[in-house]
Amino acid sequence: MKNPRYEMIIWWSDEDKAFVVDVPELPGCMAHGDTRTEAVAKAEEAIAFWIKTARDDGIKVPSPRGRLLVA
């Protein structure tokens, strides 16, 4: 099943030499990659893991707002 469309904030980190993605609606959900495409793909994996873990732990999963922001 495809992940719901959670807001993603993407930026380049000079410190990490990578694109970083934050998913602010899911606390602590972040990913990074060498390209924007890779970072977003890894963020999709992180979202799926976050949702599975929350459901396994009985934590309510917030509904997505559905925005994609690129900085």
According to the model, what pLDDT value does residue 28 have? Answer: 96
Q: What is the CATH number of the domain that holds 37?
A: 3.30.160.250
Answer yes or no: is 61 within a domain: yes
Q: What is the mean pLDDT of each run of 10 residues along the chain (71 residues)?
A: 76 97 96 97 96 96 75 61
Alpha-carbon distance values, 10 to 33, 34, 57 (Å) = 10, 12, 28
User: Which pLDDT score, from 0 to 100, does residue 5 have?
Assistant: 84
Cα separation, 17 vs 54, in Å, equals 30
pLDDT the model gives residue 43: 96
Residue 47 lies in a domain: yes
pLDDT of the residue at 1: 40
**Total domain count, the chain:** 1
Question: Residue 70: what pLDDT?
Answer: 63
What's the pTM value of the predicted model, to 2 decimals? 0.84
In a domain, 51, yes or no: yes
Structural domain contains residue 18? yes
